A and B are shown apart, each in its own frame.
Chain A
Amino acid sequence: MKTIPLAALIGLFFTGLYFLVAIFAPWIAPYGMAEIVGGVWEPSSAEHWLGTDNIGRDLLSRMIYGGRTTIWIATMATILSFVTGSILGFAAAVIGGWVDQVMSRFVDLIMSIPSLIFALVVLSVMPVTVPVLIIVMGFLDSTRVYRLARAVAVDINVMDYVEAAKLRGEGRRWIIFREILPNALSPLVAEMGLRFIFMVLFVSTLSFLGLGVQPPEADWGGIVKENKDGIVYGIGAALYPAVAIATLAISVNLVADWVLNRTTSLKGGRG
């Protein structure tokens, strides 16, 4: 536990780097987000490390601001989906009976509709703002977290120590937060890394389709959309966001793996 494995170190370094850049974007970015500073699709140069985009904005600055938006939305949506999904999942497992049935079947219903289609329909009738995006994505994804949380909690709920708590007269809140949650954390943390990356992809897809982050705000999906025509002319501007998403995905999962390993071998860990 004292020595962090190399893979986790690499993951930590890149994840940390991305988050720091996202947080301090306005101080790091060399130019303004929507500032037009050069010609269309200029190649890399000392002034513009990654060149310029389709209307002559500095691409590095766009990437940095875009990362900020994408990571912010994905993080908030992940937190939202985990808080609602796991609490509802635990509650369904602990309460059981018809409450569990109604909630689980409702979740099945939502999950039977492809989430991208669902999100597109909702966003086409709602004003597309960042809070709305976060809520829609978080809500849709919470169904998956709900399923996992409920499955894990059902297993824990039949353990003798939960029965002992019930016989002591403990309320549901204690049972959910003090008996079940600490023991369900490992699978949830592992899932969290994966879901965060799905969120990044999801918001990028929405933006690419024009129903996500609206211009002139930058985000990685939007940058792909704006620069996709350049690919025909051999201009790789649209590929930078793809590389960013891939490295973030890998590094976040390296960290999640390590956290998972740590929590399972932790004192009192299960398995």
Chain B
Amino acid sequence: MSDALLKVRDLKIGATVYPPGEKPHDIEIVHGVSFDLEKGKVLGLIGESGAGKSTIGLASMAYGRGGVKITGGEVWVNGRDILKTGLSDIRSLRGGEVTYVSQSAAASFNPAKKIMDQVTEASIRHGKFSKKEAEARAVELFGKLGLPDPENIGSRYPHQVSGGQLQRCMTALALCPEPDLVVFDEPTTALDVTTQIDVLMAIKEAIRDTGVAALYITHDLAVVAQVSDDILVLKMGDMVEYGNVDQIINAPQEEYTKALVSVRSIDHEEKVPTPEPVLKVEHITARYKGTNFDVLHDVNVELHPGQTLAVVGESGSGKSTLARVITGLLPPRSGNIHFAGRDLSAALDGRSREDLRELQMIYQMADVAMNPRQTVGTIIGRPLEFYFGLRGEEKRKRIKELLDEIEMGDGFIDRYPAELSGGQKQRVCIARALAAKPKMIICDEVTSALDPLVADGILKLLLDLQKIEDVAYLFITHDLATVRAIADSIAVMYQGKVVRYGGKTDVLSPPFDDYTDLLLSSVPEMKLGWLEEVIANRKMESAGN
């Protein structure tokens, strides 16, 4: 272990917090983490948000992001402690010996400069290569990473390539100066599943071919299982479990790791359709104002009372547009919506208060779905007051009931959204929707911004509430694991069309159409060697290519 490329010993990292109403003070966010990384190996850092994984990743470049300070421990890179070395040494370390791939390539590339200039910049700056050599190496890397037209892609601007391609360009950028270590910080989290596996494969092959060592940071254990040799599980800045990938996936020791491995194992029996659907969408075609193409083409779906219809697709497939049409925010060009036995007016203005009450919506980003200046009590209480005219003690009693239903106590009634965790925020949004006693709730990617364990809790809550309140869900998601967990029927959308529609068992059983096959096979499984297997058996190229 003494010849390890990266050796971290008892790393402690602190940050200054500014709690409202109190004096700013320092807290410790990483409590003594130690690990080794040898040449050519990949270590996966895994944990939920706040676990300190990105902070540790950046600390291996002796960097602390805004207000974060490394307070103790040692970080050895190539035989020297980089926390004690001078600034000029750090300068040659960053971007030379250690490079970084961030989550959002779109936000990390300078939009005003060509890709090639940005990919080769660090190599030229560090004097590793001449401009010509660096460009030749970049082209070679583009090819290795499976980018189309590797000779010329560098002359494009970042907005001229797709998100998955840009993420691969960023990997090329990191690999170009022949670093010893690359820190990958959630490189595939922002991508669609079908694009994710291409990028994942490209990263894996590039790591293997260049013999570079890598820290791979992610919250998705199934992803990290595909690329890593070792895994370090973190929770709230503490090491939970550290071992090789086989042991962590197949024989986890700690409770927390076991929970992460078994996440998304909710079982939900498909329900039989009732004769009278609560929502019937017929021949909906829609486009946005000022554009000249249809985002939805002739969409037909039905939703039965007390059941869940999952609308699945990648970004740009039109699933959120369908929600906007149903809520009346975007009147369709043609087609009808029947809801609860009556025709719904296409535009929001034409709908009665009863229509609005019975059709509620829950959003993806709970923190912008609630007014930050209103307390939980006001947020949940407003629909009660607005639809049912509840006031005073009566209203407060009902708010408490609702808080109980979402498994939060009435102690939250006077709190502001900023004082809640991500999962709690989403629960309050659920309570707000339930307060209206709706027949149907549209759930727009309600779990995709949450950590897996928290998301699991929300899904279970939604299923329980469905049993109690007999409410129907139109569940929009890109995540097939979620669909398996809660859907009764499924509509698969691709480029504005419903390509597959029916009961859950039918949709998820072969024979598949090509797109559904691609989508289903792209969902990472908690299994070693899954990635290679999928790539070998694919029938269709993903849309991101």
In the complex, which residues 363-387 of chain B have their Cβ closer than 8 Å to any Cβ of chain A? 363, 365, 368-374, 382-383, 386
Contact mask A166-208 → B, CB, 8 Å, 1/0?
1111100000001100110000000000000000000000000
Number of A-B contacts (CB under 8 A): 66
Interface band, chain A? 20 to 34
Stretch at the interface among B44-52, B154-162, B233-241, B415-423: B415-423
The answer on a CB contact under 8 Å between B416 and A268 is yes
**When A1-B21, A159-B368, A269-B20 are in contact, do A167 and B356 touch as well, CB less than 8 Å?**
yes
Cβ of B351: which chain A residues have Cβ within 8 Å of it?
Answer: 169
CB contact list, A224-271 vs B, under 8 A: 265-270
CB <8 Å contact, B20 and A169: no
- The answer to whether B417 and A268 have CB atoms under 8 Å apart is yes
What separation, in Å, do the CA atoms of A183 and B353 have in the docked complex?
26
Measured CA separation A199–B172 after assembly (Å): 58
Given contacts A159-B368, A160-B369, contact A168 B418 (CB under 8 A): no
Tell whether, in the assembled complex, residue B20 and residue A265 are in contact, meaning their CB atoms are under 8 Å apart: yes
Residues A168 and B363 in contact in the complex (CB < 8 Å), given A1-B20, A2-B21, A268-B418: no
Q: Which residue of A lies closest to B19 (CB)?
A: A265
Give B466 Cβ to nearest chain A Cβ, in Å: 21
Closest Cβ neighbor of A160 among chain B residues: B369
The residue in chain B whose Cβ has the minimal distance to the Cβ of A158 is B368
Contact of A168 among B20, B329, B356 (CB under 8 A): B356
Asked if B361 and A167 make an inter-chain contact with CB atoms under 8 angstroms apart, the answer reads yes
A164 near B18 (CB under 8 angstroms)?
Answer: no
Query: Is A108 an interface position by the 8 A CB rule?
Result: no
- Alpha-carbon distance between A188 and B481 when the two chains are bound, in angstroms: 46
A159 — which chain B residues lie within 8 A by C-beta?
Answer: 368
- Contact assessment for B369 and A267 in the assembled complex, using a CB-CB cutoff below 8 Å: no
In the complex, the answer to whether B373 meets A182 with C-beta atoms within 8 Å is: yes
**Any chain B CB within 8 A of the CB of A161?**
yes
Q: Is the CB of A167 within 8 A of B348?
A: yes
Q: Is B165 an interface residue (CB 8 A)?
A: no
CA distance A1 to B432 in the complex (A): 31
Q: Which A residues from 133 to 183 make CB contacts under 8 A with B?
A: 159-161, 163-164, 166-170, 178-179, 182-183
- Nearest residue in B to A156 (C-beta to C-beta)? B371
Pair A161/B369 contact, Cβ less than 8 Å: yes
Contacts of A161 in B (CB 8 A): 368-371
Docked-complex contact B365 and A160, CB < 8 angstroms: yes
Residue interface mask A1-35, B partner, CB < 8 A = 1: 11100000000000000000000000000000000
Write out the residue numbers on chain B whose beta carbons fall within 8 Å of the beta carbon of A167.
327-329, 348, 356, 360-361
Q: Bound state CA distance, A178 and B353, in angstroms? A: 20
Residue from A163, A166, A169, A267 in contact with B418 in the complex, judged by beta carbons closer than 8 Å: A267
A166 vs B359: C-alpha distance when bound (angstroms) = 13
Q: Are A267 and B416 in contact (CB under 8 A)?
A: yes
- Closest Cβ–Cβ distance, residue B290 to chain A (whole Å): 13
**B23, B356, B360, B371 — which one has the most chain A CB atoms within 10 A of its CB?**
B371
Closest partner residue, chain B, to A184 (CB atom): B373
CB distance from B368 to the nearest CB of A (A): 5
Q: Which of A1, A160, A170 is the one whose CB lies under 8 Å from B363?
A: A160
Q: How far is the CB of B48 from chain A (nearest CB, A)?
A: 24
**Given that A265-B18, A269-B418 are contacting pairs, would A164 and B373 also be in contact in the complex, using a CB cutoff of 8 Å?**
no
CA of A269 to CA of B372, assembled, Å: 7
Q: Which residues of B contact A267 (CB under 8 A)?
A: 20-21, 416, 418-419
Nearest opposing residue in chain A for B366, CB measure: A160
- Interface set, chain B 305-352, CB cutoff 8 A to A: 327-329, 348, 351
Instruction: Report whether B20 and A183 are in contact in the complex, using a CB–CB cutoff of 8 Å.
Output: no
Contacting pair A183 B386 (CB below 8 A): no
A183 with B365: CB separation less than 8 A: no
* Beta-carbon contact of A164 and B356 below 8 Å: no
Give per-residue flags for B382-404: 1 if the beta carbon is below 8 A from chain A beta carbons, else 0: 11001000000000000000000
Q: Which of B30-53 contact A (CB under 8 A)?
A: none
Q: Are B353's CB and A182's CB within 8 A? A: no
Q: Which residues, 17 to 73 on A, are CB-close (under 8 Å) to B? A: none
- Note all chain B residues with C-beta closer than 8 A to A178: 371, 374
Query: Known: A164-B369, A266-B20. Is A169-B416 also a contact (CB below 8 A)?
Result: no
Residues of chain A lying within 8 A (CB to CB) of residue B365: 160
CA distance A167 to B21 in the complex (A): 35
- Asked whether, in the complex, the Cβ of A168 is within 8 Å of the Cβ of B371, the reply is no
Contact B417 A168, beta carbon cutoff 8 Å: no
- Which residues of chain A come closer than 8 Å to B327, judged between CB atoms? 167
Given contacts A164-B363, A267-B416, A269-B418, 19 further A-B contacts (CB under 8 A): A159-B368, A160-B368, A160-B369, A166-B329, A167-B327, A167-B328, A167-B348, A167-B361, A169-B351, A169-B386, A170-B386, A178-B374, A182-B371, A182-B374, A183-B371, A265-B18, A265-B20, A267-B20, A268-B418
Q: List 24 A-B contacts (CB under 8 A).
A: A1-B21, A159-B368, A160-B368, A161-B370, A163-B329, A166-B329, A166-B348, A167-B327, A167-B348, A167-B360, A167-B361, A168-B382, A168-B386, A168-B436, A169-B356, A169-B357, A182-B371, A182-B373, A183-B373, A266-B20, A267-B21, A267-B416, A267-B418, A269-B418
- The 4 A-B residue pairs whose C-beta atoms are closest, nearest first, are A268-B416, A182-B373, A160-B369, A268-B372
